[in-house]
Amino acid sequence: MIVRVVNSNPVTGITNSFNVEKMIQMDMGMYPETAPYRGYVSLIVAQVSNISDATTITIRVCRDQLGDQCIVTDTTSSIFTGLTTATKGSACWALNAFAGVEENDQLFCFIKSNNGSFDLDYLEITWGDNK
């Protein structure tokens, strides 16, 4: 099994509602790029900063950019703030499941806070395949 880690770009100003304009596209790195994604997703980690009144993060992972076709339904994790900086933190989701997208190798993630706001420094998906 090969373990792969996929990271996203930063997204600022995430609030308490899903926003399709703040969608996080994750290229799962299949070859060729048009190949469908199939893999065992182990862990999803959100590293956040500028936390303002948020204590949990909810994630939704979809096969479409509009967030209408879920492959991981809304799941919430507590934000664990840093030991030295209370405005930085992480949230983790242990998926431990096989996931797939027939059309291509792109996953579209949406996140929101329970209150207030935060900036997403990166979203990381750790997954394996059988190659």
pLDDT, residue 64, reads: 94
Average pLDDT over all residues of the chain: 92
Q: Give residue 22's identity as a one-letter amino acid code.
A: K
Which residues, 6+ apart, have CB-to-CB distance to 22 below 8 Å?
A: 11, 13, 14, 110, 111
Tokens of 69: 């076709």
Q: Enter the pTM of the model.
A: 0.91
CATH number at residue 42: 2.60.120
pLDDT, residue 59, reads: 97
Distance, CA of 75 to CA of 92 (rounded, Å): 10
Domain that holds residue 87: 2-129
What is the tally of structural domains in the chain? 1
In this prediction, residue 17 has a pLDDT band, given cuts at 50, 70 and 90, of: very high
Tell which wins on pLDDT, 117 or 35: 117
